[in-house]
Chains A and B, each alone.
Chain A
Amino acid sequence: MIDTVIGVMWIVGSAFALLAAVGVLRMPDVFTRMQASTKASTLGVGCLVIGAALLLGDAASAIRLLSIGGFLLLTTPVSAHVIARGSYRAGVPLWDGTVLDERRRDLESAASRT
């Protein structure tokens, strides 16, 4: 029973990790790539960590693995935010099919008001 749970966790987690890599390869600009890699890789490594904690089964390894998972959950959004803000301010071009750019709209409306 627990072997089945571990196997499903590992298959689902590695499949999400592969999806993150495919998203990084196929998405059209920096911002879409960043969000694909962030969300899918966090979920994938989280599933892998839960499966490994179930397989190893002692308290010391479980604490280490859960601290890895919690640390990834805390830090991945922060690093994605830093990359997105830095590349937008450095002037990296958005994809041609981008529908909404709220920051540019706010800057233009503030410039036209003054």
Chain B
Amino acid sequence: MIEFSTQFALVTLAVALLIAVLRLVKGPTLPDRVVAMDLIGVLVVGLIVVLAASTGVRATLDAAIVIALVAFVATVAYGTYVERGHPE
């Protein structure tokens, strides 16, 4: 059960990352790309968590914390940049 669910979670998260990258490339306006980048940050945090738990390497959890923090600050910075009137 653990092996199957690990494989399932890794493959599903990889497919989700690919779809989010597709929206990042396609997105007609800048806020679409900001939303896709925020989603990519959250998905990478989930991928790191699953990898750390399945391989037992606990040190990568700190990397997940740092990625979550940096993605939040980047999203807020881009949001204020968009609000000042740069929609493209």
Contacts and interface: CB of A to CB of B under 8 A. Distances in A.
Interface of A: 3-4, 6-8, 10-11, 13-15, 17-18, 20-22, 24-25, 30, 33-34, 37, 41-42, 44-45, 48-49, 51-52, 55-56, 60-61, 64-65, 67-68, 71-72, 75-76, 78-79, 82-83, 85-87, 89-92
Contacts, number: 176
Contacts of A85: 79, 83
Given A45-B42, A65-B61, A87-B29, A14 B8 contact: yes
A30 B32 contact: yes
Nearest to A83: B79
Given A61-B61, A78-B76, A68 B45 contact: yes
Interface string B43-79: 1011001101110101001101100110010011011
A83 B64 contact: no
Interface of B is mostly: helix
A86 B75 CA distance: 11
The range of chain B's interface size is 35 or more
B54 A86 contact: no
Given A17-B46, A33-B32, A52 B87 contact: no
Given A52-B49, A64-B61, A82-B79, A71 B68 contact: yes
